[in-house]
Amino acid sequence: MITLRNNWKLEEVQALLERPFNDLLYQAHQIHREVFNPNEIQVSTLLSIKTGACPEDCGYCSQSARNNTSTEPERLLPLDEVINSAKAARSTGATRFCMGAAWRNPTDKSLDRVIEMIQAVRKLGMETCVTLGMLTEKQSQALKVAGLDYYNHNLDTSPEFYGEVITTRTYQDRLDTLESVRNAGINVCSGGILGMGETERDRARLLQQLANLPQHPESVPINDLVPIEGTPLQNTESLDSFDFIRMIAVARIMMPHAYVRLSAGRTEMNDEMQALCFFAGANSMFYGERLLTTDNPNENHDQQLLSRLGMQMEQLANNRCA
């Protein structure tokens, strides 16, 4: 029997993270197979629809105007380019198309253009996700009316460590955006980044924040920091692989019905590590050789990996991806 909880205490989360590795993975995997088919993985493809020149100062990001990175700023992509990318993603087997924009928040005018993109991608029979920064209640409702399936907005880290990484928007701003997305009836996609120099306590606090939201996010991306030259975090020591896998397992235990997404950082992970992440409860990933501005494993590699593991890509139940 799976019970959903929204009252996790920090000590409980820390105790889970510190369980012997095999005990933790066994516990997470049992929950995983009670709720999901453990041999299926949901795949989404990303597209950066507006790149760079972002006014925010996120210390990890290639797209902040404050960071001196090699990412070239681009204007909002024309609709036909977005449609062509979505068609290409659909032909490789992706069922969800996620569009990201380097904005603090969208203006109403730019939101109208994104809404056209959402409607066009839906017409292709794909699920839609966008990540556009902060939203007002009214903007969230407009996205819902447009038929948006998921909104991605990450808490990124613990409330305590947050200020070390981002100063231009608060943790509360992020919680407010998540609330407006939830109130509008859009599925919530929210997770974080590991390996930014945070402590284990910070990682526990991130999961506690996510799991203690009034309703668990439907999708929880766990990103391993992609260190980008020219950002304040470029030389951060990488997180131990087992600590990363532990976070996947604890996310699975705390949010049993969420899709836990093995997100950025897969190019640095070997196949065995990814297989352990799937065993620990990750059942979603980004598919296609580009994330937003950085590389992801290519489709051939991922198809081979899934085939070696006897896993399949999840199909849409309602046949929207006909």
- Which residues contact ligand SF4 by CB under 6 A? 54, 56, 58, 61, 63-64, 102, 133
Place of tokens 């929880």: 220
Place of tokens 């109403």: 108
Among 59, 100, 133, 217, binds ligand DTB (CB under 6 A): 100
Question: Residues 7-46: x/- map of binding to ligand DTB (CB under 6 A)?
Answer: ---------------------------------------x
Nearer to ligand SAM, 225 or 277 (CB): 225
Nearer to ligand DTB, 29 or 133 (CB): 133
**CA atoms of 46 and 21, how far apart (whole Å):** 32
Within 39-98, the residues that bind ligand DTB by CB under 6 A are: 46, 62, 98
Among 154, 157, 177, 283, binds ligand DTB (CB under 6 A): 154
User: What residues does 313 pair with on adjacent strands?
Assistant: 41
Least Cα distance to 226 among 271, 292, 274 occurs for: 292
Residue 188: CB minimum distance to ligand SAM, A: 13
Residue 95: CB minimum distance to ligand SF4, A: 24
**Residues annotated catalytic, as ranges:** 54, 58, 61, 98, 129, 189, 261
Nearer to ligand DTB, 100 or 256 (CB): 100
**CA atoms of 136 and 120, how far apart (whole Å):** 23
Contact 158, 206 (CB under 8 A): yes
Q: Is 293 in the site for ligand DTB (CB under 6 A)?
A: yes
Residue 228: CB minimum distance to ligand DTB, A: 7
Give the interface with ligand DTB as residue ranges (CB under 6 A).
46, 62, 98, 100, 131, 152, 154, 191, 221, 223, 226, 263-264, 291-294
